[in-house]
Structure 1
Amino acid sequence: MKRRTACNAMLLVMAALSSRMPRAQVVGRPARLAFLVEPALEAPLQQAIVKALLEGLRALGYVEGRNFSIEFRSADGNFSRLPTMAEELLRQRPDVLVTAWPASAMAAKEATRTVPVVAVSVDNPVAMGLAQSFSRPGGNITGIGSWALEIVAKRLQVLREFVPTARRVGILFNPDAVGPGGLEPALTNWQKGLGLAIHPYPARGPTDFDGAFAAMVRDGIGGLLVFADSNTYTHRVLLNQMCLQRRMPSVWGGRDFMTGGALASYQSDFPDMFRRSAALIGKILKGAKPGEVPFEQSSKLELVIDAKAARALGVVVPPALLLSADHVIE
């Protein structure tokens, strides 16, 4: 009787421990994947991230409908909906939850400590609390980082090359999408590196845009950096129009944000990252623990210049930037 009680107790302990660990290897059935994203999955994103992910999986022998299924959820640009979307996906009992961009990754982090998560295109995963280190994440999350503060500094350099006479530049951002600590520490470093004043302009949506641009005029802003987040993506057409109407040179965080009013974009190559993320998913489906799968860093950056927008804004594109551009829109 004592032996049976001890065995039962041991089984209960093992069950409790296993419930806290990421799921094991998928054998004998199609794998179940889930995908969480904040912006609406419109055609540009379908092409840039969904198609790229499926291509990467196909290259590894995973064919949708044959040996895996995938369930999508989008918060349609509404940050507050992400926790609900994450819970909906987790009720489907996925083997791996894939997230796109920082807000979705943070929602997944809060929603589960057991389901393996592959977080794609996040900022610094250690600073965000997604991982203990790049080489050994330690929890249920691994993924691909896309450079955060470093790439913003590079965008500011590109902006300065476009408008070398500007004494002040602005940053348009959604305060809800900025991590703990806000922008102030980074602003200090960027201003030192750039040698000119940088003014932040918070905007949570279209009702804030007119006020932000009016403030830029009052402050004598000569160029604008537009942060890449769900807010600016959802309203990219309006913001591009406002940049044209106000003759505001602007640099953005992704080519899909450019609709005719943006001068340039400098960003990690999104299709490359999502294609590469398939390898991380494959490792987990074969039994690897995400906490032991190193976080990767995006290795391919893309500079896109809209020469047509430059002409409309009366901006001369420096020859050096033209030569270094990966793509020029004519």
Structure 2
Amino acid sequence: EGLRDLGYIEGKNISIEYRWAEGKYERFPDLIAELIALKVDVVVIAGTPATQAYQKARTSIPLVVVAVGDPVGTGIVASLNRPGGNITGLTSISPELEGKRIELLREVIPKLSHIAVLWNPKNAYHAIENKQVEAAAAALRMKVLYLGVETHEQLDNAFAQIVKERPGALLVLADRVFLHNRVLIMDFAAKHRLPGVYAYVELVEAGGLMSYGPNYADMHRRAATYVDKILKGTKPADLPVEAPIKFELMINLKAAKRIGVTVPPSVLYRADKVIKDAPG
């Protein structure tokens, strides 16, 4: 969509090769090798794990990244203003993002004292995000159940832990494994009447309660401007990495009714998008 707006028409003045890992990180090296072998002019990748896999391929083909957590802290670029090397793009970084998500949960569930966090140990940025979670939870005197999940197969064990420990809410960090398995995760949350806040709107659309974060769809559209500039000769090293300016809150009132949660007007008023419950 972003490329179309800039005058690019697939099959006419641009050719696009698509590759999907489907939440399976072990596929990254082979998929990246395929793109390198095709001698493409520029690669676009979403997320920190895939970006780090691209770095390991040691190719000089320019890379535009979308929604990487902390590109400086994870060694992807030298700095946001002067990325250096052959990588630039858009970051989803915000030092207080996880804290704000936890505060939202407390606003909706005032007596909340215990939360579960789904995170991926293979995602380097999650170690940084977990520190945000720890600080916010400590400030609100909450207990945190950390559940490391790297693959689809490990979700069942995480679910069993939640059933055993009975946390009052669920926080799911931004990761392609969770995005790919969103229906499974949200069906579990609904079955166990577990309210939650999520990084992706797709989890709310799949039946989750709330999402709060940058507009990822807009980030992908914005990536087209980087592709355009690189194709016209600009070096990635000369294109500053863009940080998100606006964060969006999405609330699913149908999910709230299903799990027996009342979203207070003070939270509902701040929502950018609301999925409304059917009358009657």
Superposed pair shares fold, TM > 0.5: yes
Select which of 154, 157, 178 maps to 1:208: 154
- What does 1:113-128 align with in structure 2 at a 5 Å threshold? 113-128=59-74
- Shift of the 296–288 alpha-carbon distance from structure 1 to 2, 3 Å rule, reads same
The aligned length equals 276
1:246-289 Cα offsets, whole Å, 9 max, x none, are: 11111111111235541111121112111111111111111111
Identify the residue that residue 136 of structure 1 maps to in structure 2: 82
Partners of 2:222 and 2:144 in 1: CA distance: 35
Partners of 1:268 and 1:258 in 2: CA distance: 14
Identify the residue that residue 114 of structure 2 maps to in structure 1: 168
- Shift of the 58–276 alpha-carbon distance from structure 1 to 2, 3 Å rule, reads same
SS at match of 2:171: strand
Question: Looking at CA atoms only, which structure, 1 or 2, has the larger radius of gyration?
Answer: 1
Partners of 1:155 and 1:254 in 2: CA distance: 12
Residue 84 of structure 1 pairs with residue 30 of structure 2: yes
SS at match of 2:213: strand
SS at match of 1:142: strand
How much has 1:222 moved relative to structure 2?
Answer: 1.0
Identify the residue that residue 306 of structure 1 maps to in structure 2: 252
SS at match of 2:154: helix
- Shift of the 277–184 alpha-carbon distance from structure 1 to 2, 3 Å rule, reads closer
Partners of 2:218 and 2:235 in 1: CA distance: 23
Kept in 2, the 8 Å contact 1:56–1:277? The answer is yes
Residue 327 of structure 1 pairs with residue 261 of structure 2: no
Select which of 62, 86, 102 maps to 1:156: 102
In the superposition, the TM-score normalised over structure 2's length comes to 0.91
Residue 97 of structure 1 pairs with residue 43 of structure 2: yes
User: Percent identity, aligned pairs only?
Assistant: 38
Kept in 1, the 8 Å contact 2:120–2:126? The answer is no
Partners of 2:233 and 2:125 in 1: CA distance: 32
SS at match of 1:70: coil
Identify the residue that residue 2 of structure 2 maps to in structure 1: 56
Partners of 1:193 and 1:250 in 2: CA distance: 19
Stretches of structure 2 that go unaligned for 5 or more consecutive residues are none
How much has 1:181 moved relative to structure 2?
Answer: 4.9
* Amino acid of the structure 1 residue aligned with 2:86: N
Kept in 2, the 8 Å contact 1:240–1:259? The answer is no
Partners of 1:179 and 1:266 in 2: CA distance: 18
SS at match of 1:296: coil
* Amino acid of the structure 2 residue aligned with 1:228: A
Kept in 2, the 8 Å contact 1:136–1:291? The answer is yes
How much has 1:157 moved relative to structure 2?
Answer: 1.4
Partners of 2:130 and 2:256 in 1: CA distance: 30
| RMSD value, Cα | 2.0
Kept in 2, the 8 Å contact 1:170–1:199? The answer is yes
Kept in 2, the 8 Å contact 1:170–1:221? The answer is yes
Identify the residue that residue 13 of structure 2 maps to in structure 1: 67
* Amino acid of the structure 1 residue aligned with 2:82: R
Kept in 2, the 8 Å contact 1:159–1:250? The answer is yes
Kept in 1, the 8 Å contact 2:98–2:133? The answer is no
In the superposition, the TM-score normalised over structure 1's length comes to 0.78
1:172-227 Cα offsets, whole Å, 9 max, x none, are: 12222344857654443232343322221123345433432343344341111012
Partners of 1:173 and 1:261 in 2: CA distance: 20
- Shift of the 271–188 alpha-carbon distance from structure 1 to 2, 3 Å rule, reads closer
Kept in 1, the 8 Å contact 2:182–2:206? The answer is no
* Amino acid of the structure 2 residue aligned with 1:208: Q
- Shift of the 151–275 alpha-carbon distance from structure 1 to 2, 3 Å rule, reads same
Identify the residue that residue 262 of structure 1 maps to in structure 2: 208
SS at match of 1:297: coil
- Shift of the 162–204 alpha-carbon distance from structure 1 to 2, 3 Å rule, reads same
Partners of 1:111 and 1:206 in 2: CA distance: 25
* Amino acid of the structure 2 residue aligned with 1:68: I
How much has 1:245 moved relative to structure 2?
Answer: 1.2
- Shift of the 63–317 alpha-carbon distance from structure 1 to 2, 3 Å rule, reads same
Residue 279 of structure 1 pairs with residue 220 of structure 2: no
How much has 1:137 moved relative to structure 2?
Answer: 0.4
SS at match of 2:80: coil
Mean alpha-carbon deviation: is it higher for 86-95 or for 184-193? 184-193
Residue 219 of structure 1 pairs with residue 219 of structure 2: no
